[in-house]
Amino acid sequence: MPRTFKCIPELVESPSKELAAALGLPWKGAGMPRLVIGRREWISLPELGVFPLNAKTDSGARSSSIHAENVILSPDEKSVRFTTRNHYSEVISCEAAVVRTASVRSSSGVAKKRIFIRTTAVLPGGFSWSIMVSLANRSEMRCPMLLGRRALSGYFLIDPQGAHLLGPRRELENSSTTESAARPGLEPR
């Protein structure tokens, strides 16, 4: 006969570091408050002039990606030019420095070489942080941008039932042209 145990939550008064030590768990430093975000969020990329975008949050994906067409790598492979589309299907020309190129395995299991760039992402409410995104053809996807766990780690918790929890699209449209580019963001650890 299987044994059943009853678990009752207990209020703990000790600091996280001491609790981790008592439980034999590794300690990674002071915890930072996390923003709760939905399965999709509005996002802008002011350094690229792209806003607003509907981004899918995906903790199962390691890296982030953005829809890119007409990708042209410079002869020295240090910069890249591409076009993308915002929420209103307006074509936007972008140029960025290449951070790296790497093989990325898609959800279908196919690995392809992708170009990665670094840019600043801004959410409604003004939260901004630096992310690395790969350039990919996401024309068949519902969301032109995917935020993977590397971009989400340390900042967010995902509510899979919610969408656009941080604010409406118009909040990005009003602030993206001037205010958000000037706001200081949090630097990743």
Asked if residue 25 belongs to a domain, the reply is no
Asked if residue 83 belongs to a domain, the reply is yes
Asked if residue 146 belongs to a domain, the reply is yes
Asked if residue 11 belongs to a domain, the reply is no
What lies within 8 Å, CB to CB, of 81 at 6+ separation is 70, 71, 72, 74, 93, 94, 95
pTM of structure:
0.74
Element (H, E) at 151: helix 149-152
In the chain, the number of structural domains is 1
Asked if residue 43 belongs to a domain, the reply is yes
Asked if residue 26 belongs to a domain, the reply is no
Residue 138: CATH number of its domain: 2.40.70.10
Asked if residue 140 belongs to a domain, the reply is yes
Asked if residue 74 belongs to a domain, the reply is yes
Domain, as residue range, for 97: 32-182
- How is residue 148 written in tokens? 């993977």
Q: Is 164 exposed, middle or buried (0-12, 13-18, 19+ CB in 10 A)?
A: middle
Question: What is the predicted pLDDT for the residue at 186?
Answer: 39
What lies within 8 Å, CB to CB, of 32 at 6+ separation is 154, 155
Tens of pLDDT, residue by residue, the chain (189 residues)? 566 555 555 555 556 666 556 655 555 555 656 788 999 999 999 999 998 999 999 998 999 999 999 999 999 999 999 999 999 999 999 999 999 999 988 777 888 899 999 999 999 988 889 999 999 999 889 999 999 999 998 888 899 999 999 889 988 876 654 443 333 343 333
Hey, which residues does 188 pair with through a beta bridge?
Answer: none
